[in-house]
A and B are shown apart, each in its own frame.
Chain A
């Protein structure tokens, strides 16, 4: 990639034509390290007013084991819908989502979901909120409790077990949600704009913390966001989606080393951010044609 804006645009045009190739180091597709394979996925549903909504259009994507993938797009582009499909909350109209284990065989599709608002149960104490997956999945109580304490310690909420959610700040609530998503030890975390409701400072801090959680737990992460800087800071790979019907129109690999600091900037990441902006603007401008 070239630092000039014009040639960055040329590169984008190429990507828009061929979504399977990366912008940075070209990742090999379809090897045994795949964790999630999304193939030919489309979703249409009948909207409330009876009209057909075409939410997702022929999405093909692969997510590798332990990869941090960010999905970026304008609001209403179907990125959260894609996440809901991965979570098994809605069925696609056509296409498949398959989860592959490290041995190459079909693996559990059990996920750890981190919703947009922390979505804690206000009637449960922090510890019981974190243990909710264990209760629903009927896991043995004591090991789950130990695990919950360990996770709360990891995310810096030791000593807050007996609090109720409303006693915590927004950032702390979101951390509880992350701990909860990790309790049952899923192989993949699905995060739906988890920091969108937080103020900028808390957001940055939580991004850094999420990175270290990710580095220490080795989960695959599927992270939906509408913030370019957040996507570029956090992700190994950024998928850019178009306006509805949502398609993947570009894909960028962020090569920067880990761990990235809170004030991390590199020429590469800046260039990627600029390219993403160009892709999104071009997509938005097509609305008027």
Chain B
């Protein structure tokens, strides 16, 4: 019997990545797909620039209302060369990342606690509903009163924004773990901790990372927002100053900087998601909701 079994196994092994000759073809197909996607992106951006120029021509807009793409580009290059951008961006990133990590940690811990203990769930729930429906920007003045205008206030806002999506997603993941897997652990007399550690935690990981992906977007948003509404340093402060000086070109340049930085942050979290939660069947691209 063992010999038949082995031959079945060998037959079943064939759909293997990388080792079989089809691997090269797969790589080629992927590269081609990537190139096509990239071509579309570049095309779309070029189209955007053309439309932008056309609007300026059509409406005869002044440069303080709508600067030309070329002037924005020049200002951007200037900003990049003058170093101040980097230190300010560093300040924004510091607030974003510190707040993100703290918010994620708190969200995961409380999400698991809520999944495990009914008491925690019931205590958290009313606050969750209240704070979820509150526009968190309204908290900025209060946070400024408590934490001043430094890093702490920034981090506090970021934590508040990151915490809830991570908490909700983690809780959902813990609560929806496959009952058959739990039963398996129970049949081996695994108690609550075994169930949590052997099954629920790992089952929740795809959900946690969905929370992290949302969280990083909120974190960046929160950091810039905190800077714009009152802070000593950061890209948000720069935008505020440019805006005050009616330097629209620089403001636009900053928007581009923020867009690229945000995209970069998001891509990094996504990348880590796929590396860590390697067993996830399909992480449909819907995790980035448009709720901000």
Chain B residues whose CB sits within 8 angstroms of the CB of A218 once the complex forms: none
What residue of chain B has the Cβ atom nearest to residue A118's Cβ?
Answer: B180
Contact A184 B188 (CB under 8 A): yes
Say yes or no: is B242 at the interface (Cβ < 8 Å to chain A): no
Q: Is the CB of A172 within 8 A of B12?
A: yes
Grouping DSSP codes into helix (H, G, I), strand (E, B) and loop, the B interface class, with mixed when no group exceeds half, is helix
Which B74-106 residues have a C-beta within 8 angstroms of A? Answer: none
Q: How far is the CA of A78 from the CA of B180 in the complex (A)?
A: 17
The residue on A at minimum CB distance from B181 is A119
**Residue B23 CB within 8 A of the other chain:** no
**Closest residue of B by beta carbon distance from A190:** B187
Q: For the complex, is A278 an interface residue (Cβ under 8 Å from B)?
A: no
B62 at interface, CB cutoff 8 A = no
Chain B residues closer than 8 Å to A87, beta-carbon distance: 183, 187
The residue in chain A whose Cβ has the minimal distance to the Cβ of B277 is A123
B1, B187, B198, B202: residue with the most chain A Cβ atoms closer than 10 Å: B187
Q: How far is the CB of A55 from chain B (nearest CB, A)?
A: 16
A159 nearest CB neighbor, chain B only: B9
Given that A119-B178, A119-B181, A123-B279 are known contacts, is A133 also in contact with B9, CB under 8 Å in the complex? no
Chain A CB within 8 A of B199 CB:
yes
Q: How many residues of chain B are within 8 Å of chain A by beta carbon?
A: 27
State whether the Cβ of B189 lies closer than 8 Å to any Cβ in chain A. Answer: yes
Distance, CA A133 to CA B188, complexed state (A): 7
From the candidates B180, B187, B199, name the one contacting A116 in the complex (CB within 8 A): B180
- Rounded to whole Å, the gap between the CB of B201 and the closest CB of chain A is 10
Q: Is the CB of A136 within 8 A of B183?
A: no
Please tell me if A25 contacts chain B, counting CB pairs below 8 Å: no
In the complex, which range does the number of interface residues on chain A fall in? Answer: 35 or more
* Docked CA distance A213–B199 (Å): 28
Q: Is the CB of B175 closer than 8 A to any CB of chain A?
A: no
Q: Using Cβ atoms and an 8 Å threshold, which residues of chain A touch B187?
A: 87-89, 111, 113, 190
Answer whether residue A158 sits at the interface, using C-beta atoms and an 8 A cutoff.
yes
CB neighbours of B6 from chain A (8 A)? 156, 158
- With both chains docked as a complex, state the minimum distance between the C-beta of B93 and any C-beta of chain A, in angstroms: 31
Q: List 26 A-B contacts (CB under 8 A).
A: A89-B186, A89-B187, A110-B189, A113-B183, A116-B180, A119-B181, A119-B184, A121-B181, A121-B198, A121-B199, A121-B202, A123-B279, A132-B184, A133-B188, A135-B198, A136-B188, A136-B189, A137-B189, A156-B1, A164-B279, A166-B281, A172-B9, A205-B4, A205-B8, A209-B1, A209-B5
Given contact pairs A121-B202, A205-B8, enumerate 11 new A-B contacts (beta carbons under 8 Å): A89-B186, A110-B188, A110-B189, A116-B180, A123-B205, A132-B198, A137-B189, A156-B1, A160-B9, A166-B279, A166-B281
Q: Could you tell me which A residues sit within 8 Å of B by CB distance?
A: 84, 87-89, 110-111, 113, 115-117, 119, 121-123, 132-133, 135-137, 153-160, 164, 166, 168-169, 171-172, 175, 184, 190, 205, 208-209, 212
